[in-house]
Amino acid sequence: MIVYHPDYQKHILSPGHPESPKRLEAIVERLKKESLFNVLEPEKASVEQISKVHAPDYINTIKNVGFIDMEAPVHPETFDIASLAAGGVITAGKYAFENKSPVFALVRPPGHHSGKDYGGGFCYFNNAAIGVKNLNKKTAIIDIDLHHGNGTSDIFYEDKDVLYISTHQTGIFPGTGRIEETGNKKGEGFNVNIPFTVGCGDKSFDLAFEKIIKPIVEQFAPEMLFVSFGGDAHYMDTLGNLSLSSPRYASLCEKITNLAKNVCNSRLCFVLEGGYHLTALSEVIAGIVGSWHNKKIDYEFTNIRDADGIGNNIVENVVDVQKKYWEV
């Protein structure tokens, strides 16, 4: 199932910006071509629902078209579209939970760089966090966007009922997501960072999944699994330097789907974050949704750039830190 609304394409961050309506246009076109576009229409999240994550002053600043961040300019229509994006994830999460069936929330603007009282990195409201808070179950969030989801990490940093795991490229925006950031107070041990270096891709992500993500999520035993999905860790993406290929990107997500099947009865919700190469982004998403329907996708970008796991030492360093909290 897909959650989508045509108004998501009305958000224009600034003319010519890579986080553009063309992204969803390309994804929708590809899903339609593969007969995978079965849509559930969302409603706007209410201020009350958004308030479960964001501070009232911050919500009002967006509503009143004020300034939040250079990389997240607020326009007159921003509040309504951002509320509809948050509502999309609430709808998707609820549907996935009730029907025990995976859902992909194809929303814009993205959300994982947005914290309680700040935005940035093309994000206004933290859609995934709003979905999690409104469902209110024991939840694991796996964030496989190129960038660290600093907003999501901050929101749940002291929360033992929400496990946050992020793979990302180190040394780029937003600069957070070090291995040593493991959560605080009651949330200590419930924050897991896998900061990859330039070039890490297919094999490194496999290692991260097998040695860290899978065992920790199994031991955490969530009732619900969210994935902050960014397509920008692809080797075609121009915003970063990780090197996932299309088939292995999709198969990583298929492994996450199987994990959700085993730990939480397929209560699984994917949320769109970044991803800026239109063909790469849309073929990977088609591959993910296709895997839910036993449909094979023909990929254009199949080069394996990291066959040997150049990020193995990073994975081992994460294991060293996390073994204090988990059997890894």
Catalytically active residues, by annotation: 113
- Distance between CA atoms of 241 and 234, rounded to whole angstroms? 8
Within residues 135-174, the interface with Zn ion by CB under 5 A covers 145-147
Q: Tell me whether residue 54 or residue 147 sits nearer to Zn ion (CB atom).
A: 147
CB of 123 to Zn ion, least distance (A): 10
Stretch that binds Zn ion, among 24-32, 50-58, 231-239, 304-312 (CB under 5 A): 231-239
Q: Please name which of 109, 145, 113, 128 lies closest in space to residue 12, comparing C-alpha atoms.
A: 109
Q: Tell me whether residue 126 or residue 322 sits nearer to Zn ion (CB atom).
A: 126
Residue type, 179: I
Tokens encoding 244:
């996932």
Q: Please name which of 223, 70, 59, 60 lies closest in space to residue 141, comparing C-alpha atoms.
A: 223
Q: Tell me whether residue 146 or residue 256 sits nearer to Zn ion (CB atom).
A: 146
Count the residues of the shown chain that bind Zn ion, applying the rule CB under 5 A: 6
CB of 241 to Zn ion, least distance (A): 13
Stretch that binds Zn ion, among 38-46, 184-192, 232-240, 302-310 (CB under 5 A): 232-240
Which residue of 232, 237, 283, 306 would you call a contact of Zn ion, by CB under 5 A? 232
**Distances 302 to 46, 69, 130, 208, 284 between C-alpha atoms, Å:** 42, 37, 35, 20, 11
- Between CA 217 and CA 302, with CA 280 as vertex, the angle to 5 degrees is 85
Stretch that binds Zn ion, among 15-23, 86-94, 227-235, 252-260 (CB under 5 A): 227-235
Is 230 a residue that touches Zn ion (CB under 5 A)? yes
Is 19 a residue that touches Zn ion (CB under 5 A)? no
Tokens encoding 17:
């910006």
CB of 78 to Zn ion, least distance (A): 19
Contact by Cβ (8 Å): 134, 97: no
- Between CA 151 and CA 77, with CA 18 as vertex, the angle to 5 degrees is 70
Q: Tell me whether residue 82 or residue 328 sits nearer to Zn ion (CB atom).
A: 82
Q: Which residues bind Zn ion (CB under 5 A)?
A: 145-147, 230, 232, 274
